[in-house]
Amino acid sequence: METTKLALVSKIFLFIIAGLFIGSLFVPMWQIDLDAPQYPEGLVLKLHANKIGGDVEIINGLNHYIGMATLHTENFIEFKILPYVIGAFALISLALIFINNRKFVLAFFGTFILFVILAGVDFYRWNYEYGHNLDPNAAIKVPGMAYQPPLIGYKQLLNFGAYSVPDIGGWFLIAAGAMLFYIVFKEFNLFKKKQTI
């Protein structure tokens, strides 16, 4: 009879995954770097689980000239919800050690993937609204120009180069997802099945 219990290494990984989720709450999760000739040191927007950090006031001042809305933590419900979601993921990871059933780990992995997709869609929507819904009375207007930052990677916005990349907390979540992926493959013997094909 095939067992549904988890291997010891999977339980250790789940413990580490819980730590990664908790750790991501205390460091920036994403960053958008802005480079321009007039700012040789660069400007950075740091997105934490519960707030916007970095050079927010300077960026808001620049955004005002091109008609973009200013950024304020309290305007985003995501910053109120996200810490609870990530905290719940950490608790579930620990609970799975004691539940000790690989099918529950598979369900958790599926839930995490769904969360990542929804977070990506929400971040794109957020970037799109701020980059396209411009004040028609702005001091600087460029016909046909939008200022949507990239979801990930690089994009030129007038004289600014914008780099959107994961920060420490984002890499923590990526590592947690990779470990969950490994656990699922190991527990369901997908490595062995692939080798026999």
pLDDT of residue 120: 94
Residue positions counted in the chain: 197
Whole-angstrom Cα distance, residue 151 to residue 125? 10
pLDDT of residue 140: 77
Residues of the chain with pLDDT > 70: what percent? 94
pLDDT of residue 78: 93
pLDDT at 1 over 60: no
Region 158-163: what's the mean pLDDT?
A: 86
Average pLDDT over all residues of the chain: 89
pLDDT in tens, 64-107: 788 888 889 998 999 999 999 999 999 999 999 999 999 999 99
How wide is the angle at C-alpha 187 spanned by C-alphas 186 and 190, nearest 5°? 55
Whole-angstrom Cα distance, residue 20 to residue 57? 30
Amino acid in the structure at residue 167? D
Q: What are phi and psi of 191, to 5 degrees?
A: -65, -45
Taking the CB of residue 65, how many other CB atoms lie within 10 A of it? 12
